[in-house]
A and B are shown apart, each in its own frame.
Chain A
Amino acid sequence: MILEKEEFERLRGNLMGEFAAMSDFCARRLSFGGRDFFILYIIGHASKDLLNKFVIEPISAAYLRGGAGFPLEDIVTGGGFSVALGFEAAKNAVLEGNALIVFPDMPPDIFGYICAVKNDEGRANTEPETENVVRGPHDGFNESAAGNAVLLRRRIKSERLKSEKLTLGTLTKTEVILMYISELVNREALSLLKQRLADIRADALIDSGSVEMYIQDGRHALYPTVGNSERPDKVAAKILEGRIAVLVDGSPVVLTVPYIFCEGLQVSEDYAKSPFFATFVRSLRFAAVILAVFLPGLFLALTEHHMGFLPGEMVAFMAETRKDMTVSLTWEIITAFLIFEILREVGLRMPKAVGSAVGVVGSLILGESAVSAGIISPFVLIIVAFSAVCNFICAPYMNPNAIFRFLLILVGGFFGLFGFFFVCAAALLLGAGKSSFGVPYFSPFAPLSAEGLRDFLYMAPIWKMKKVPPSVSGKNTVRTEGKA
């Protein structure tokens, strides 16, 4: 049965109706050898060059050769070619940047032929600014999910690297790609992830951050349970440990799940260094995080409530430096941290050149003036500055740590050591009960996993990490036989 001329016109009319008031929508009517057909596409979204080269020119040449008999897939070259088996499929294909070819004599169940001519011109795969390394690859993801998937395939050239495509967001129709290795992946985590993605009811998902909000464990998590990176090498390494990568079109940040606490302390460059140095640096990172979070609150708890436990010399020195102060130590530290957080935010949002100038003005001039004016004492300035600098060492926890630190400052300042202890214990209890896609958040040390500890604070040589961490993958897979 052949589609009648009127039906063809109605179909075209329907599609035209859907795309009405879209100035960038193009329905190009072509006629070769007395046969009319339409090519529907969105200008700019579909590549004009690809359209001409792989669709129009081959069809034209076929007519000129006199061999205009179809099937069309034999004529249209390059890219992808598929059949739209429904009105929605046809419409979505156009919206995704493909070209839809509609003939008057198509079979009734076919709404058009989809030619993949999407304009994939995007940003180059430059090194991400947030995850710099001295030794290691210098490429990074860009905003194309398909392109990012290719970057991962270049690193894991195996048919076992599976990928599944989803479309999320009723308006944005954001393409989301899941990538994992079938034999290594944590099956429980995979089914949980798919379930959570399927449960998303939203009209718009612009960035991977929005997807992260929907899929993370718990409704109000302060610390992340979904990892993210802009580095293909890092994401590939995580996939090889049994994790799942979630690539969201339009975002250079790729999500990885499950995510456990100790991942925040790991940097991809660690694996390119001597294990001794990597262990040393990781221990430093851990110590710095502890200091960044706990130092101001503990200092405040001791100085405001339990002065007797501090060394006499320290108390005398503090009394000397604070003799002209008009505000309490608690408010002094809170003020200092608020000023610092404002400066940090300004430094981030301003253009680079201005941002650095603001940083200099803020940290040096404002700090110096605050001390001279008696608003902040030098001792407090040292504590705040040291804690703030330490917080930068671990990027994934920088923001949650800043909030947690504020909380500890408040309870330490107002309730002393027990208030501080209570919040720490409650946080530890919450963290201990937390899991990321079924994997305990504090693994590999709670619950204890000997294999996992080889890549925690202490980093064993790569050849000694014989198994894929069972704490993540839940499997007992050997990845190396060791060193001969």
Chain B
Amino acid sequence: MAERKYLISPVQVFCFVLLYLLSGMMLYAGGRSAAALFAALFCACACVIACVLCENFSSARGFYASAFGALGLPVRYISAALTSYSLISTLFSFSAEVGAFYSGGARKAVLLACILLAIFSVAKGFSAPARFAEVCVFPLFFAVLVSLIGGEGEGISFSLGGDLLFAGFDIIGSVPVVFSLYLRCAGEESGKMSVYAKNSSFRPSALAAGVCAAAASLVVYAFFRLTEVGNIMFSFLLWFAALSRIFAHTLALCDIAGLPEAENGQGKARSMLAAAAIFAAVALCTGAFGEALKTAAVFANVIFPCAAFAFSMLWCRGEKKTNA
């Protein structure tokens, strides 16, 4: 069983998915509500699939090995690359957004600061970034309340023109992130809940948490679009959401790299090295073949959950036959 510090609660899954999607919508939707809607629907489906598939697993290593057999390791590397791509894309977009507030080379400093925070966040397990996401949801709630007294905003547009599909997939980022969140989720069914969670009267199911988060992100996004909230404080709050998105990526990368399962220092170092190599390679490729990589990532993101689903179904059937 995974160590408690590498587990997150369904409430934290909710917060992660909500902030992940919302920051994605704010960074990439560019006012296209249809893209946000598409992303939210896709993410909700991904949550359902991930919840069903990951029920009996607690780490990416076990899940990929079971679902893909001998192909488990290559698929893990592909997932790591996809997640790295999405992480780099978020880092670039976020640093560009923050850099717009400054003149000069602030963008690189922002990038460096975010990478430092991301590494620092998972240094002692997943509890800190998960609780960080939980804390970030509270000011967001107040921002929604404050936006009620704002003026009339830009409104919602459902036009389907332009690169809507790409915007949608940019918002979703990387589906392995959703899988990792569910793999690390200690729900009521898993029997891995902490003593505090067990004693709490509020224990949402992991499935409901993900689906509700996707819906909530869409509602919050629509709210912000309908009301006039464009001040600097609002941007400040969204920076926290973007940071949560970065943390979610980091968490997923750690999970895929198998850091929590690494028993000794050597294993941990090897996993970190693999993750860093993939990250660096993707960062280099993003600069060289940005557009091509983007298209590839989008298709991989579509293919991955479907493939995972199909392989898992096949595996389950195989298991049943063996047992019979």
Chain A residues in contact with chain B, CB under 8 A? Answer: 302, 305-306, 309, 416-418, 421-422, 425-426, 428-433, 440, 442-443, 445-451, 467, 470-471, 474-476
Mark each residue of chain B from 99 to 125: 1 if its CB lies under 8 Å from any CB of chain A, else 0: 001100010011001000100110011
B-chain residues with CB within 8 Å of residue A306 when the two chains form the complex: 101, 232
- CB <8 Å contact, B98 and A440: no
The answer to whether B138 has its CB under 8 Å from any CB of chain A is yes
- CB <8 Å contact, B199 and A474: yes
Q: Knowing A416-B102, A476-B199, say if A429 contacts B134 (CB, 8 Å).
A: no
- CB <8 Å contact, A305 and B102: yes
In the complex, identify which listed stretch (B236-244, B291-299, B300-308) lies at the interface while the others stay far away: B236-244
User: Which 10 residue pairs spanning A and B have beta carbons closest together?
Assistant: A433-B128, A470-B199, A432-B131, A450-B202, A446-B134, A446-B131, A476-B199, A309-B232, A432-B132, A474-B195
A-contacting residues, B131-171, CB 8 Å: 131-132, 134-136, 138
Residue of B nearest to A425 (CB): B243
The answer to whether B271 has its CB under 8 Å from any CB of chain A is no
The answer to whether B200 has its CB under 8 Å from any CB of chain A is yes
In the assembly, what is the distance between CA of A431 and CA of B132, in Å?
8
Q: Could you give 22 example pairs across A and B, Cβ below 8 Å? A: A309-B232, A418-B110, A418-B113, A421-B239, A422-B117, A429-B128, A429-B129, A429-B132, A431-B135, A432-B127, A432-B130, A432-B131, A433-B124, A433-B128, A443-B196, A445-B134, A448-B9, A448-B134, A451-B201, A474-B199, A475-B199, A476-B199
Most chain A CB within a 10 A radius of its CB, from B9, B128, B130, B196: B196
Residue of B nearest to A432 (CB): B131
Q: Residue B131 contacts which of A422, A440, A471 (CB distance < 8 angstroms)?
A: A440
- CB <8 Å contact, B200 and A449: yes
- CB <8 Å contact, A429 and B102: no
- CB <8 Å contact, B199 and A422: no
- CB <8 Å contact, B132 and A447: no
In the assembly, what is the distance between CA of A237 and CA of B243, in Å?
39
B-chain residues with CB within 8 Å of residue A417 when the two chains form the complex: 101, 232, 236
B-chain residues with CB within 8 Å of residue A428 when the two chains form the complex: 132, 135-136, 240
Chain B residues in contact with chain A, CB under 8 A? Answer: 9, 11-12, 98, 101-102, 106, 109-110, 113, 117, 120-121, 124-125, 127-132, 134-136, 138, 194-202, 231-232, 236, 239-240, 243
In the assembly, what is the distance between CA of A306 and CA of B100, in Å?
11
In the assembly, what is the distance between CA of A164 and CA of B121, in Å?
39
B-chain residues with CB within 8 Å of residue A443 when the two chains form the complex: 196
In the assembly, what is the distance between CA of A474 and CA of B198, in Å?
9
> What 11 additional pairs, Cβ within 8 angstroms, besides A418-B101, A451-B201?
A309-B231, A418-B98, A422-B113, A428-B240, A430-B128, A432-B127, A433-B125, A440-B131, A446-B131, A447-B131, A449-B202
In the assembly, what is the distance between CA of A443 and CA of B134, in Å?
10
In the assembly, what is the distance between CA of A430 and CA of B117, in Å?
10
A-chain residues with CB within 8 Å of residue B201 when the two chains form the complex: 450-451
In the assembly, what is the distance between CA of A251 and CA of B161, in Å?
73
- CB <8 Å contact, A445 and B138: yes
B-chain residues with CB within 8 Å of residue A451 when the two chains form the complex: 199-201
- CB <8 Å contact, A470 and B101: no
- CB <8 Å contact, A421 and B236: yes
- CB <8 Å contact, B200 and A432: no
Interface of B is mostly: helix
A-chain residues with CB within 8 Å of residue B102 when the two chains form the complex: 305, 416, 418
B-chain residues with CB within 8 Å of residue A433 when the two chains form the complex: 124-125, 127-128, 131
Residue of A nearest to B199 (CB): A470
In the assembly, what is the distance between CA of A322 and CA of B241, in Å?
36
Most chain B CB within a 10 A radius of its CB, from A428, A430, A432, A445: A432
A-chain residues with CB within 8 Å of residue B196 when the two chains form the complex: 440, 443, 447, 449, 470-471, 474
In the assembly, what is the distance between CA of A343 and CA of B101, in Å?
37
Closest Cβ–Cβ distance, residue B305 to chain A (whole Å): 28
- CB <8 Å contact, A429 and B121: yes
In the assembly, what is the distance between CA of A445 and CA of B138, in Å?
9
Residue of B nearest to A186 (CB): B195
Closest Cβ–Cβ distance, residue B238 to chain A (whole Å): 11
B-chain residues with CB within 8 Å of residue A442 when the two chains form the complex: 131, 134-135
A-chain residues with CB within 8 Å of residue B198 when the two chains form the complex: 476
In the assembly, what is the distance between CA of A374 and CA of B240, in Å?
38
Residue of A nearest to B98 (CB): A418
- CB <8 Å contact, B117 and A429: yes
Residue of A nearest to B203 (CB): A450
B-chain residues with CB within 8 Å of residue A474 when the two chains form the complex: 195-196, 199
Most chain B CB within a 10 A radius of its CB, from A305, A306, A448: A448
Residue of B nearest to A418 (CB): B98
Most chain B CB within a 10 A radius of its CB, from A302, A429, A446: A446
In the assembly, what is the distance between CA of A416 and CA of B239, in Å?
14
Closest Cβ–Cβ distance, residue A452 to chain B (whole Å): 8
A-chain residues with CB within 8 Å of residue B132 when the two chains form the complex: 425, 428-429, 432, 446
B-chain residues with CB within 8 Å of residue A449 when the two chains form the complex: 196, 200, 202
Most chain A CB within a 10 A radius of its CB, from B120, B127, B130: B127
Closest Cβ–Cβ distance, residue B210 to chain A (whole Å): 16
Q: Knowing A425-B117, A428-B132, A429-B129, say if A448 contacts B11 (CB, 8 Å).
A: yes
B-chain residues with CB within 8 Å of residue A471 when the two chains form the complex: 196, 200
In the assembly, what is the distance between CA of A475 and CA of B199, in Å?
6
In the assembly, what is the distance between CA of A289 and CA of B64, in Å?
47
In the assembly, what is the distance between CA of A96 and CA of B27, in Å?
68
Residue of A nearest to B134 (CB): A446
In the assembly, what is the distance between CA of A302 and CA of B12, in Å?
32
Closest Cβ–Cβ distance, residue A71 to chain B (whole Å): 50
B-chain residues with CB within 8 Å of residue A440 when the two chains form the complex: 127, 131, 196
Residue of A nearest to B231 (CB): A309
Q: Residue B12 contacts which of A426, A431, A447 (CB distance < 8 angstroms)?
A: A447
Most chain A CB within a 10 A radius of its CB, from B134, B136, B198, B199: B199
Closest Cβ–Cβ distance, residue A105 to chain B (whole Å): 58
Residue of B nearest to A306 (CB): B101
A-chain residues with CB within 8 Å of residue B106 when the two chains form the complex: 418
Residue of B nearest to A457 (CB): B138
Closest Cβ–Cβ distance, residue A283 to chain B (whole Å): 11
Closest Cβ–Cβ distance, residue A171 to chain B (whole Å): 37
In the assembly, what is the distance between CA of A309 and CA of B124, in Å?
38
Closest Cβ–Cβ distance, residue A434 to chain B (whole Å): 8
B-chain residues with CB within 8 Å of residue A445 when the two chains form the complex: 134-135, 138
In the assembly, what is the distance between CA of A309 and CA of B233, in Å?
10
Closest Cβ–Cβ distance, residue B264 to chain A (whole Å): 23
Closest Cβ–Cβ distance, residue A195 to chain B (whole Å): 19
In the assembly, what is the distance between CA of A425 and CA of B246, in Å?
12
Q: Residue A446 contacts which of B117, B135, B202, B236 (CB distance < 8 angstroms)?
A: B135
Residue of A nearest to B136 (CB): A428
A-chain residues with CB within 8 Å of residue B117 when the two chains form the complex: 422, 425-426, 429
Q: Residue A447 contacts which of B125, B134, B136, B236 (CB distance < 8 angstroms)?
A: B134
In the assembly, what is the distance between CA of A309 and CA of B231, in Å?
8
In the assembly, what is the distance between CA of A241 and CA of B138, in Å?
25
In the assembly, what is the distance between CA of A418 and CA of B102, in Å?
9
Closest Cβ–Cβ distance, residue A165 to chain B (whole Å): 29
Most chain A CB within a 10 A radius of its CB, from B98, B128, B130, B138: B128
